[in-house]
């Protein structure tokens, strides 16, 4: 234990005694209110820590109705917690009972001050611990690992501080305030709109906080294209987006985004041929500032493990998103394209690939829950998923279904489907196979996707049943 000193900074013995006096005077109900703010470790002096622990023991395990000296001393023997190391505990307790106690309201205010002092002490410990870890650097570590040593503990300290003492609450605590806020600013849907309204409805109202939303597809079908389309749609509403990319470099995605927004052929942008067309040049020069201002950040995580990816995401939250008063991230979207093992060294010690992929999705799910952010992740489906439709055909494990809030397959329409539902409605389809919140899809329902691959644009079109109804009504286009 560290040596304690009356002259130590970030502590006030008088305030600690005042809080204990207030608790002893106002009884167990006051203690319960204070325990929502303080714990025993919030006190600097060990005898005050032990006294608070004994009061907690008497309230939670003995269910006492009021505090008295014999009960506290008895609890000290039962828990082997000395109130004082040398002095007479009875004299110390008598001094607490004999002091003039602050009012219950003032006791709460003093408790808040003690909490802030303890918070500052913990911040100092966090910095010292970080310093000790940095002093062990040998120079062989990755730069990202060194940065994480600084950022991770500080950001974790900040988040835990905001979220501390949430505890058990009535399920409808703050109901009226919540309903009034919703009534004053009604929203079209619960989560973040993706720009695909039919899909948003199917999965339960857009991309909800604390969820992992998964799109599966075979290679070359368009996982990255549809991810970038969603990133653009979300960013157009000035909601920050982080695109964690295991496949494509930033210049490639920059060209794709430019083509998507301007409508200039992707090939012409990548080769520079757009400069030969006055129309194309005008489109790009007109929109380039708008494209640059879209709040989309890109990070290549090719060859990096999930811990590094989450470290990048945490840094992005800190710098570009920020946290609200509840310790949750402000509205944002994290895209992970796509779920796979990025480091071959992950496969070791006879751990199978599906187990490691399960760990990956678990890590993303925990991160989404911790910060209250929606995550859109893509995954490669195996060959069975071409003919059959279901989350079980994702290349990985059942954890995709356990921890994912919904699973959607992006695939080419079959020849039979194209005969019933013409290519003018779309040649690709989205099929929601599993969902926790929304209605999902029943039977052979799907959402048509019109793909304009020359500019990387994926547009939502009619559902299958809308197309069939249109055919029966005689309104189908010739």
Q: Is the pLDDT of residue 345 over 50?
A: no
pLDDT confidence of residue 81 = 86
Calculate the CA 162 to chain-centre distance: 15
Least confident of 118-132, 218-232, 388-402: 388-402
**Measured between alpha carbons, how far is 395 from 380 in angstroms, rounded to an integer?**
6
> How high is the pLDDT of residue 252?
97
pLDDT at 328: 87
Is there a contact between 431 and 441 (Cβ–Cβ < 8 Å)? yes
How far is it, in rounded angstroms, from Cα 413 to Cα 331? 34
Q: Cβ neighbours of residue 1 under 8 Å, at least 6 residues apart? A: 46
Spatial contact of 335 and 224, defined as CB atoms under 8 Å apart: no
Contact 182, 188 (CB under 8 A): no
**Minimal CA–CA distance to 122: which of 165, 164, 161?**
161
Longest Cα separation, the chain: 98
Q: What is the pLDDT of residue 398?
A: 59
What is the pLDDT at residue 325?
76
DSSP-derived secondary structure letter, 318: I
Cis peptide, bond prior to residue 338, ω within 30 of zero: yes
- Name the range with the highest mean pLDDT among 255-259, 306-310, 432-436: 255-259
350 pLDDT band (50/70/90 cuts)?
Answer: very low
d(CA 273, CA 265): 9
Q: Give the span between the Cα atoms of 26 and 115, in whole angstroms.
A: 20
Nearest-angstrom CA–CA distance, 452 and 211: 29
| Residue 183: CA count within 13 A, CB half-sphere | 6
Decide if 195 contacts 233 (C-beta within 8 A): yes
SS3 per residue for 101-138: CCCHHHHHHHHHHHHHHHHHHHHHHHHHHHHHHHCCCC
| Per-residue confidence (pLDDT) for residue 396, from 0 to 100 | 47
More confident of the two residues 357 and 25: 25
From CA 112, how far away is CA 78, in angstroms rounded?
A: 30
Most confident of 116-120, 152-156, 289-293, 382-386: 289-293
Mean pLDDT (whole number) for 32-42: 90
Q: What is the DSSP letter of 329?
A: B
Strands 296-300 and 447-452: unpaired
How far is it, in rounded angstroms, from Cα 312 to Cα 210? Answer: 18
* Of 29-33, 48-52, 323-327, 385-389, minimum mean pLDDT range: 385-389
* pLDDT greater than 80 at residue 401: no
Q: For 181-190, what is each residue's pLDDT tens digit?
A: 778 878 778 9
How far apart CA 173 and CA 215 sit, in angstroms, is 35
Across all residues in the chain, what is the average pLDDT? 86
Average pLDDT over residues 106-124: 92
Q: Per residue in 402-456, pLDDT tens?
A: 788 999 999 999 999 999 999 999 999 999 999 999 899 988 899 999 999 999 9
Model confidence band, residue 351 (pLDDT cutoffs 50, 70, 90)? very low
Cα R_g (the chain), whole angstroms: 29
Mean pLDDT value across residues 355-383: 86
Q: What percent of the chain has pLDDT over 90?
A: 60
Residue 388: pLDDT over 70: no
Q: How confident is the model at residue 347 (pLDDT cuts 50, 70, 90)?
A: very low
The strand ranges marked E within 106-236 are 212-217
pLDDT reading at 472 higher than 90: no
- Percent of the chain scored above 70 by pLDDT? 88
Instruction: Say if residues 357 and 396 touch (Cβ distance below 8 Å).
Output: yes
Given this model, what pLDDT does residue 189 score?
80
For 126-178, what is each residue's pLDDT tens digit? 899 889 889 999 998 888 778 878 877 776 776 666 555 445 567 787 788 87
**Nearest-5° Cα angle at 82, 19 to 43:** 30
Which range among 151-160, 258-267, 445-454, 457-466 shows the weakest confidence by mean pLDDT? 151-160
């Amino acid at each position: 234990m560290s040596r304690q000193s009356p002259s130590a900074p970030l502590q006030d013995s008088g305030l600690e005694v005042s809080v204990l006096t207030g608790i002893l005077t106002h009884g167990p109900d006051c203690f319960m209110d204070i325990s929502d703010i303080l714990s025993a470790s919030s006190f600097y002096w060990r005898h005050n820590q032990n006294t608070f622990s004994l009061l907690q023991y008497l309230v939670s395990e003995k269910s006492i109705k009021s505090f008295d000296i014999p009960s506290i001393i008895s609890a000290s023997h039962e828990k082997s917690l000395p109130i004082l190391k040398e002095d007479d505990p009875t004299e110390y307790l008598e001094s607490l009972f004999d002091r003039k106690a602050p009012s219950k309201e003032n006791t709460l205010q003093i408790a808040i001050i003690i909490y802030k002092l303890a918070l500052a002490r913990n911040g100092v410990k966090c910095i010292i611990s970080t310093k000790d870890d940095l002093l062990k650097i040998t120079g062989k570590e990755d730069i990202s690992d060194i940065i994480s040593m600084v950022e991770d503990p500080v950001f974790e300290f900040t988040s835990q501080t905001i979220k501390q003492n949430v505890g058990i609450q009535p399920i409808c605590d703050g109901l009226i305030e919540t309903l009034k806020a919703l009534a004053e600013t009604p929203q079209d849907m619960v989560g973040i709109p993706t720009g695909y309204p039919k899909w948003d409805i199917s999965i339960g109202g857009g991309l909800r906080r604390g969820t992992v939303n998964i799109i599966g597809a075979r290679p070359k079908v368009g996982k990255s294209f549809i991810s970038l389309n969603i990133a653009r749609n979300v960013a157009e509403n000035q909601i920050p987006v982080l695109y964690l990319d295991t496949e494509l470099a930033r210049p490639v995605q920059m060209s794709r985004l430019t083509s998507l927004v301007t409508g200039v052929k992707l090939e012409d942008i990548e080769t520079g041929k757009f400069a030969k067309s006055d129309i194309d040049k005008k489109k790009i020069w007109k929109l380039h500032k708008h494209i640059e201002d879209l709040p989309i950040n890109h990070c290549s995580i090719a060859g990096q493990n999930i811990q590094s990816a989450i470290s990048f995401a945490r840094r992005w939250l800190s710098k570009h998103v920020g946290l609200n008063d509840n310790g949750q991230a402000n509205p944002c979207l994290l895209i992970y394209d796509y779920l796979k093992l990025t480091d071959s060294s992950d496969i070791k010690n006879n751990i199978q690939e599906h187990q490691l992929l399960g760990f990956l999705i678990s890590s993303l799910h925990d991160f989404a829950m911790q910060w209250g952010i929606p995550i859109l992740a893509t995954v490669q489906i195996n060959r069975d998923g071409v003919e059959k439709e279901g989350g079980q055909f994702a290349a990985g494990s059942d954890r995709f279904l356990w921890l994912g809030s919904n699973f959607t397959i992006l695939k080419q329409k079959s020849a039979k489907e194209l005969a019933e539902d013409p290519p003018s409605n779309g040649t690709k389809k989205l099929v929601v196979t599993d969902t926790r919140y929304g209605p999902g899809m029943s039977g052979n329902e799907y959402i048509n996707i019109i793909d304009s691959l020359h500019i990387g644009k994926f547009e939502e079109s009619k559902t299958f049943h809308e197309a069939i109804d249109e055919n029966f009504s005689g309104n189908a286009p010739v």
